[in-house]
Each structure stands twice: as C-alpha cells, then as structure tokens.
C-alpha cells in the first residue's frame, strides 16, 4: 500500500536512494542538489542503510569513486548539478564507456559562466551524447519513481549503461508536493540485488578495466555502446510496465497530453510540462485544439515514436531550456526535427529557447507560443524557426 507524504524533490530522491540502499554513495555538495546526499547521509549516520558514504573533495572524485566501486562489483549512486557535472565531465564519459550502471541524480541548473545557481538544462544538454541514459521528471513524484526504476534499467544485461535522473533545480528540488511513496520491502523486491557478470573483485575471473583501446577495437566498442542504448528503449518500457503493476502509475517514453486530436502542440521536458498542461486545459475550453508531448526519455531518444505522435499536427513548437549557441536552435529541437525528417513526417516546426538562468516561465508565455502556432497552422509557413520567449526585448 502506497504511503502518502509531502516532500521536496530532493527529499524524494534521497528517500528513493534510502529504499534502494546502494553499496556506495560518493558525493560533493553543490546547489541545488546538495540536499540529496545531505539527507542520505543522515540515513547512513543513523544506521537506516548500510551504504558506504564517501565524502570526496570534488565532483570529479565523486564520479571516480563511483566508477571504482561499480567496477569492483558494488552498486553506486551520486548526485550533482551544473558546474559539478562539468567537473565530472571526463569521468562521465569513462563511466559509460566502461559500461558501468551508475545512477546519478542530476538537479538541473545553469552552467557557469557567469555564475548562476538557478534552473535551466544546460548541464544535461552538455552531456547528452556522453552515453548515459537520461530520464526527465516533471514533478517530485516522477523524480522518485524514475529513481526507483533506474537500476532495473541500467543494470539490465542488454543495457549496462549509467543513468541520470533529471529534475528542475529549485522548481521541483526544493518545492514540497504531495507524493506517493512505496513501502520499503516492495521497493527492495522491485529493485533487486546487483549481480554483475564481470567485476574486479571476482578472483575467479581476473579482468582489466579501462585499458588502452586503440584503432583495432575502439570503433567496435563504441558500436556496442550504441547498440546498448538502442536496447535501453525496450528495457525502459518493460520496467515501466512492471512498475505500473506495482504502483498503478504509468510511464512511457513520453507523455501525450490531449495530443490525439490536437492541431497544434508543444514539446517540452521537466517542470514546464505542468505549466503547459494548465494552458492546454484553458485553450481547450476556448475550443482551441492544443496538445502537449512531454519527453520523459531523452536518451535513448524515441525517434520513430515521437515522429509518429506528432505527424498529424498542423504546427508544433519545441521548447529548449538551453541554447546550443549554434545559430540553429536548441538540442531538443534538433532531435525532434531530425526524427520528423528521417520518418518523412512534414509538420511546420518552430523552436523557442526559454527560461535561461531560472527566468520565470509563465502561463502567458506558453499561451503566446500556442497563439504563434495557430498563425503558423493557417499558412503552413514558419518565417523564423529560431525564437525566444521571456527574453527582454533590449537583449535581442
């Protein structure tokens, strides 16, 4: 039976970690993710878990310690944000290339500089091609649920890749919401024990981890990583189906909100989806057929499924909470439009970069995007596909 609670997103993530009871947690504090290891350290101190908690001197060391622990045969977790993830950058790639299913809670925050501690997705977008599975969370419940599913996905024999659970800094990480927690024993049974096939402390099978990998083999090893990422899509759906049987909460690769009969729609991730749902409901009452596609699984990117889900629209807007600074739109926009192109689905598409550095995203802003889409739908033409909203005019 689920337990009704009121928790912040950080508390929810920490409680999920407590219920999982990993072998090793290595972490270094950074706003706004600091509370996750802070809360978890109290569980270690009072004996609620038997995790080895390693207080390291930097985020680079945190990921290094997780790599060492996971390679040795232990289940390892950590948490970070923004510049902390940047400091991990070298080890982020090493974790995935070594096929180590480490789980990381990433509380999204703007990457410096200039220094900013508030939310956007520049940290996650900076490592989107690093070989990690990436799950995004609209609210505290999803942050908790995604964490419970993470090890089952990452540790699957056909995957064996690290996974990060993203949630919006301060917006969900520090906001308190009603949440349904699962009983400890149910979580323990669902997650199961980590039973690696190959690991350093197995004296029956001596192995090397991270050897020099030159022209003869590296290409093949990278192709194996790519295949594992493809496999992850099927595994994510299988694990989500089992999770639904346990909790009644259903998750897919993405969520379609009033999208079936929509004529115009927005594609976005994380907490912005909640604001967008409010606007969709408002517009529906006015007779406007607005819809939403909320991306939950960003890596592996559900190319064919998203293209199919958007194919009937008259116009679509893709919202990016990070600017790729490439004069050609944000990363989510590139992925969605690429998916549409290769699947020969021709829908007028426009990109909006928004919310940089924690700039407020208001319902009026979202409604303005839908109004733009209505005009595009009339003509089928997009005069300027690369746009902003919430930006002061003098800054353009």
Task: State how far the Cα of 363 lies from the Cα of 278, in Å rounded to an integer.
Answer: 8
Choose the final residue of a domain: 247, 279, 314: 247
Tokens 């290409």 label which residue?
219
Residue 111's pLDDT band (cuts 50, 70, 90): very high
**Does residue 394 carry a pLDDT above 80?**
no
- Of 19, 22, 18, 61, the C-alpha closest to 40 is 18
Q: How confident is the model over 365-369, as a mean pLDDT? A: 98
Handedness of CA 187, 188, 189, 190 (dihedral sign): positive
- 339-357 confidence digits (pLDDT tens): 999 999 999 999 999 999 9
Same domain? For 201 and 279 the reply is: no
**CATH number, position 319:** 3.40.50.920
User: CA torsion angle for 145, 150, 156, 159 (degrees, to 10)?
Assistant: 130
pLDDT given at position 395: 52
Boundary-marking domain end, from 187, 218, 247: 247
**Chain centroid offset of residue 347 CA:** 26
Q: Which of 227, 237, 153 is nearest to 190 (CA)?
A: 153
Last residue of a domain, one of 247, 279, 299: 247
pTM: 0.97
Residue-wise pLDDT for 62-89, tens only, equals: 999 999 999 999 999 999 999 999 999 9
Same domain, 270 and 237: no
171 and 104 within one domain = yes
Task: Pull the structure tokens for residue 326.
Answer: 């490439």
Residue 255's Cβ-count burial label (10 Å; 0-12, 13-18, 19+) is: middle
pLDDT in tens, 281-332: 999 999 999 999 999 999 999 999 999 999 999 999 999 999 999 999 999 9
* Alpha carbons 302 and 339: distance in angstroms, whole number: 8
Q: Check residue 393 and give its pLDDT.
A: 80
* pLDDT of res. 1: 73
Whether residue 88 contacts residue 82, with contact meaning beta carbons closer than 8 Å, is answered with no
Residues 306 and 335: their CA atoms lie apart, in Å, by 10
Answer yes or no: do 155 and 282 share one domain.
no
Give the Cα separation of 164 and 132 in Å (integer).
7
- The structural domain count of the chain equals 2
Whether pLDDT at 372 is above 80: yes
What are the C-alpha distances in Å from 370 to residues 66, 307, 330? 44, 20, 19
Task: Please give the mean pLDDT across all residues of the chain.
Answer: 97
Q: Do residues 318 and 333 lie in contact, with contact meaning Cβ atoms separated by under 8 Å?
A: yes
What pLDDT is attached to residue 22?
Answer: 98
Do residues 175 and 289 both lie within one domain?
Answer: no
Q: What H or E segment, with its residue span, contains residue 133?
A: strand 133-136
Q: What is the mean pLDDT of residues 146-161?
A: 98
183 lies in which domain range? 3-247
Position 396 pLDDT exceeds 80? no
Task: For residue 90, give the CATH number of its domain.
Answer: 3.40.50.970
Instruction: Give CA–CA dist 174/68, Å, rounded.
Output: 31
SS3 content of the chain, % helix, strand, coil (to 5): 40, 20, 40
- Would the pLDDT of 91 be above 60? yes
State whether 30 and 124 are in the same domain: yes
Do 194 and 303 fall into the same domain? no
Q: Which two tokens stand for residue 30?
A: 């950074």
- Are 167 and 305 found together in one domain? no
Q: What is the pLDDT of residues 8-58, one digit of tens each?
A: 999 999 999 999 999 999 999 999 999 999 999 999 999 999 999 999 999
Query: 145 and 222 in one domain?
Result: yes
240 and 112 in a single domain? The answer is: yes
- Residue 223 and residue 258 share a domain: no
Please give the share of the chain, as a percent, with pLDDT higher than 70.
99
pLDDT at site 97: 98
Q: Provide the CA 191 distance to its chain's centre, in angstroms.
A: 19
pLDDT per residue as tens digits for the range 234-258: 999 999 999 999 999 999 999 999 9
How many CA atoms, within 13 angstroms, populate the side-chain half-sphere of residue 294? 23
Q: Concatenated DSSP letters for 255-285?
A: EEES-TT-SEEEEEETTHHHHHHHHHHHHHH
Please write the tens of the pLDDT for every residue from 156-200.
999 999 999 999 999 999 999 999 999 999 999 999 999 999 999
Whether residue 228 is found in the same domain as residue 280: no
Could you tell me the two tokens for 173?
């990480």
């Amino acid at each position: 039976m689920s337990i009704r609670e009121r928790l912040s997103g950080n508390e929810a993530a920490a409680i999920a970690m407590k219920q999982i009871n990993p072998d090793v947690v290595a972490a270094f504090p950074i706003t706004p993710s600091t509370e996750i290891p802070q809360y978890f350290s109290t569980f270690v101190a009072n004996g609620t878990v038997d995790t080895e908690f390693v207080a390291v001197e930097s985020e680079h060391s945190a990921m290094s310690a997780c790599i060492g622990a996971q390679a040795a045969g232990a289940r390892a977790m950590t948490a970070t944000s923004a510049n902390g993830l940047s400091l991990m950058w070298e080890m982020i790639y090493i974790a995935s290339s070594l096929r180590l299913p480490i789980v990381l809670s990433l509380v999204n925050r703007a990457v410096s500089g200039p220094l900013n501690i508030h939310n956007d997705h520049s940290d996650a977008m900076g490592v989107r091609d690093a070989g990690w599975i990436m799950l995004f969370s609209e609210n505290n419940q999803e942050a908790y649920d995604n964490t419970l599913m993470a090890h089952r996905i990452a540790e699957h024999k056909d995957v064996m890749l690290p996974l990060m659970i993203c949630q919006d800094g301060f917006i969900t990480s520090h906001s308190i919401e009603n949440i349904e927690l699962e009983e400890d024993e149910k979580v323990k049974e669902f997650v199961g024990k980590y039973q690696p096939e190959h690991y350093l402390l197995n004296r029956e099978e001596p192995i090397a981890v991270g050897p020099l990998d030159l022209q003869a083999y590296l290409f093949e090893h990278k192709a194996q990583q790519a295949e594992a990422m493809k496999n992850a899509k099927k595994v994510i759906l299988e694990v989500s189906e089992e999770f639904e049987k346990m909790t009644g909460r259903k998750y897919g690769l993405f969520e379609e909100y009033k999208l079936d009969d929509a004529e115009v729609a927005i594609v976005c991730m994380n907490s912005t989806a909640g604001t967008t749902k409010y606007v969709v409901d408002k517009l529906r009452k006015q007779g406007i057929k607005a819809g939403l596609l909320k991306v939950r699984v960003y890596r592996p990117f559900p190319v064919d499924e998203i293209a199919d889900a958007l194919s009937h629209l008259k116009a679509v807007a893709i919202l990016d909470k990070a600017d790729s600074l490439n004069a050609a739109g944000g990363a989510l926009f590139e992925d969605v439009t690429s998916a549409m192109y290769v699947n020969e689905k021709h829908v007028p598409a426009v990109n909006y970069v928004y919310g940089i550095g924690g700039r407020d995203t208001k319902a009026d802003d979202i409604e303005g995007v839908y109004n733009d889409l209505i005009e595009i739908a009339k003509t089928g033409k997009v005069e300027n596909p690369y746009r902003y909203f919430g930006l002061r005019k003098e800054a353009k």
